[in-house]
Structure 1
Amino acid sequence: MHTSARPCGHMRENDRMTSATRQPGTPAAAIRPRLIATDLDGTLLHDDKSVSPRTVAALAAAEQAGIEVFFVTGRPARWMDVVSDHVHGHGLAICGNGAAVVDLGAGPGAHRFTKVRELARGNALDAVRLLRRAAPGTVFAVEQTYGFHQEPAYPRLHMEVPGHRLPAEELLAPDGPTAAQPVLKILAHHATLDPDAFLTLARLAVGERATVTRSSPSALLELSGPGVSKASTLALCCAERGISHEEVVAFGDMPNDIEMLTWAGQSYAMGNAHPDAVAAASGRTAANTEDGVAIVIERLLDQHG
């Protein structure tokens, strides 16, 4: 793990007081939230990737009320410009399914990594080998802190030009062309498998070498370091702020949100959510196209003043 000297946040004195004076056994809904953690695609963003005026207003109102908002996404840092104007005071977002904490405060295109939880190259190479054997036809891409690379047969699923087009074994080699930067995750795509079946197959094949999840409607998997997830990195950031999981409200829609939805004291699956995300959440809200996140935030602010 590469971790910078700058933590996810700074614990304030009133943070300690709030945690210390919370009464045990208090229902989660009765606890005033101190942090909102929301996924982006399929959750906060509309299908055209915009942030609605109602949602912008709700996020601003939450921050004004002293509730921090963290964007917790599978997106890489370079895709965060769509929300970089809405990170408010702290400027931080969790990207790559928990593989990085990024400071977006300097504005679009000027992000800085404050925490990196990398996927070791040995683990990544093992995962590639095992997935090729378990699901012939799987093709791979490699996501790094400041670069994206892919195999020649990997489809153009992203609006960007890869730095290198080489077999994954060459991209991940310790002395290969990408060796200068840590690996955040590898992407595995299959043209014909059912997405959920591919996820189950990959988890069985890879085992504890990597965390395997998915956020795409297609058979596209995302592999991060062991134990790396949205939830585990969010928990680190909250611990540095003296915030308990009970004081967190989370929103999500896909399997890569499940751990976060389970961990948070209150959690909401979107009206358009995957069934497994619905099962993991403690509540349900409207679809992303109907401003489901804003609806809950407005209600929380009314409830807690």
Structure 2
Amino acid sequence: MREDEAVTSATAPRPRPAATSGTVPAEAPGAVPGAAVAPRLIATDLDGTLLRDDKSVSDRTVAALAAAEDAGIEVFFVTGRPARWMDVVSAHVHGHGLAICANGAAVVDLHANGKLIGVHALERADALSVVSALRAAAPGTSFAVELTSGIHYEPAYPPFQFDPAASIGTAEDLLHEETPGSADPVIKLLAHHTTLTPDDFLDLARATVGDFGSVTRSSPTALLEISALGVSKASTLARCCAERGIAPEEVVAFGDMPNDIEMLAWAGRSFAMGNAHPAVVAAASGRTVANNEDGVAVVIERILAGEYGGAGDVRE
């Protein structure tokens, strides 16, 4: 299935709901007396958020996710990873079978071995425009092309994770197709620079190629991820929630890097991890402890215990 429209309004920061906008029954999952809305969905990033630095999921976090689902709260993994890199959580999938991958460009069914059930592709013409503009604005930029079938990259691009099926060539060659629409869809374009700082590279790229795609980053290095214009974690999460009749105010979101900002601004309650980028802290309505301290689990436990109903910092 191909998504033909992005929910672009989801990426814009919006006013937080007032705490007096209504109450929920005390018996509702996560209900707190006087709280505005009980959560119906938890949306969490993976790397630097749900996962510890060694890429493991702690027993405490697994238990907290299961308890949330037992209480009737859906769980969505929302990540920059492609579907083929979701093995880190495959052993911990219970009811939460759907995941939003590639920064919103794909929705996958983890119960069906990562089957793609929704794709919003980056048009190859737009990707080529990004390549051309960044080559001129930031000489030395190297590129990789993430397709629905796997990744392919330029000789100078550092292969951060070995993929024996990857082909190597110029971005122009990798993006070429004999007949329009005949090749696998482009999930995202990746751009790497060896000397620019990550945030400087991000600012430069957004100013240079913002008309052709959505630019973000999730790596501590100068590695950018470019999706179709208007596509973000927030846009696809908004679509998935709308399909389920879930309002933004009923969503609790967690993240740590710039690719999480739109999602955290969109959700009714959101938490930057203790290890989060400063811009993420500014976008979230609250803050929890770091990923290595199970910050997601800490918040979920508090919500389910009825000890936390609003925004603000949460500590052990």
TM-score (norm 1): 0.89
The question of whether the paired residues in 2 share the 8 Å contact of 1:37 and 1:248 is answered with yes
Instruction: Specify which of 79, 102, 112 is matched with residue 96 of structure 1.
Output: 102
Which residue in the other structure is 2:68 paired with? 62
Deviation at 1:179, TM superposition (A): 5.1
Deviation at 1:304, TM superposition (A): 7.8
Instruction: Specify which of 159, 166, 170 is matched with residue 169 of structure 2.
Output: 166
Deviation at 1:30, TM superposition (A): 3.3
AA in 2 matched with 1:73: T
Which residue in the other structure is 1:42 paired with? 48
* Cα distance between partner residues in 2 of 1:261 and 1:254: 10
AA in 2 matched with 1:75: R
* Cα distance between partner residues in 1 of 2:96 and 2:218: 26
Unmatched runs of 5 consecutive residues or more in structure 1 = 5-22
Deviation at 1:158, TM superposition (A): 1.6
SS at match of 2:224: strand
* Cα distance between partner residues in 2 of 1:90 and 1:207: 33
Q: Does 1:74 align with 2:52?
A: no
The question of whether the paired residues in 1 share the 8 Å contact of 2:76 and 2:96 is answered with no
SS at match of 2:53: coil
Instruction: Specify which of 204, 207, 219 is matched with residue 207 of structure 2.
Output: 204
* Cα distance between partner residues in 2 of 1:59 and 1:199: 33
Cα RMSD between the aligned structures?
Answer: 2.2
AA in 2 matched with 1:204: A
Q: State percent identity of aligned pairs.
A: 68
The aligned runs of 1:139-154 (5 Å cut-off) are 139-154=142-157
Unmatched runs of 5 consecutive residues or more in structure 2 = 5-18, 24-33, 309-316
AA in 2 matched with 1:286: V
Which residue in the other structure is 1:25 paired with? 21
Deviation at 1:3, TM superposition (A): 4.0
The aligned runs of 1:216-295 (5 Å cut-off) are 216-295=219-298
* Cα distance between partner residues in 1 of 2:35 and 2:82: 32
The question of whether the paired residues in 1 share the 8 Å contact of 2:21 and 2:36 is answered with no
Q: Specify whether residues 249 and 101 from structure 1 end up closer, same or farther in structure 2 by C-alpha distance, changes over 3 A only.
A: same
Q: Specify whether residues 270 and 90 from structure 1 end up closer, same or farther in structure 2 by C-alpha distance, changes over 3 A only.
A: closer
Aligned residues: 285
* Cα distance between partner residues in 2 of 1:242 and 1:85: 28
- Determine which structure has the larger helix proportion and give its number: 1
Runs (4+) of structure 1 exceeding 4 A deviation are none
